[in-house]
Amino acid sequence: MVVIRLARVGKKHDPAYRITVADSRRYVTGKFLEVLGTYIPSPMGKQQKVTLNVEKAKEWLSKGAQPSDTVRHVFKLAGVETKPSDRQVRAKRAAAKSAKA
């Protein structure tokens, strides 16, 4: 299965991540198929920096690549639409079921 995930490339106490497309069986920072962009999280109150090739991201999503939950959040920051993960769907159903009871 092909996944879209983050690979850490930053220094100690200064994280930076590459948004990569890779085979799910590969090590996180190992070989990858393509780099889609970068994500630099910031401390609270500062702007997070996301650089993303939106066309390539949409292309990989259309081919069936599965983004991780964190990558879904980064895509949301960049304005890329993704369908919810199975985990999110199950949580929403459980919340609705518990609210009903």
For the chain, 101 residues long, give each residue's pLDDT as a single digit of tens: 899 999 999 888 888 999 999 988 877 777 889 999 999 988 766 777 888 999 999 999 999 899 998 999 889 888 888 877 777 778 888 888 888 76
Place of tokens 């970068």: 38
Q: Which pLDDT score is estimated for 31?
A: 84
**The CATH number of the domain where 90 resides is what?**
3.30.1320.10
Count of domains observed in the chain: 1
Strands (E), 24-65: 34-40, 49-52
pLDDT for residue 45: 63
Helix axes 69-78, 54-62, angle to 10 degrees: 130
